[in-house]
Amino acid sequence: MRVIWAKHPITAFEIIERLAAEDPSWHPKTARTLLARLVKKKVLDYEPRGRVYVYEPLVTERQCITVESESFLDRFFGGALTPMLAHFVRQQRLTKKDLAELRNLLESKIENESNKPGRKSCKQ
């Protein structure tokens, strides 16, 4: 999908060419099978133009990431976010920059939650 999100509309030939450039083990028949499955799942659409198929994404990258992230969270962590975050923080080599970014994200989320109507903020 990243190949298609990066450039669309795009032909099947161009998709296969780009996949093979990134990973030579991609076989054209495998790529075509994947494209057919993505069309069947309604995340991809195509238009025949003569003997060429031109593909367009039906979902954005953001939509796909949201759905797949929720699916991953449900399958591996029972839908619980805290154990997943704890796992990745413990298992990954995080730089000080990574940790600072995570801290900023969490602090921003806390600030946004405390400013929602009906919630009391400690800063009031």
Q: Where in the chain is the domain with CATH 1.10.10.10?
A: 2-57
Q: Domain 61-114, CATH 1.10.4040 — does that match? A: yes
At 50-96, the pLDDT tens digits run 999 999 999 999 999 999 999 999 999 999 999 999 998 899 888 99
Phi then psi for residue 33, to 5 deg, are -65, -45
pLDDT on residue 118: 62
The architecture that CATH gives domain 2-57 is Orthogonal Bundle (1.10)
Q: Give the whole-angstrom CA distance, residue 93 versus residue 90.
A: 8
Under the banding of pLDDT at 50, 70 and 90, the label for residue 121 is very low
Percent of the chain with pLDDT over 90: 85
Please state the pTM of the whole predicted model: 0.71
Q: Where in the chain is the domain with CATH 1.10.4040?
A: 61-114
* Residues present in the chain in total: 124
Q: Please, are residues 48 and 59 in contact by the beta-carbon 8 Å criterion?
A: no
Mean pLDDT, range 7-35, rounded to an integer: 95
| Element at 14 (helix H, strand E) | helix 12-22
Distance of CA 10 to the CA centre of its chain: 20
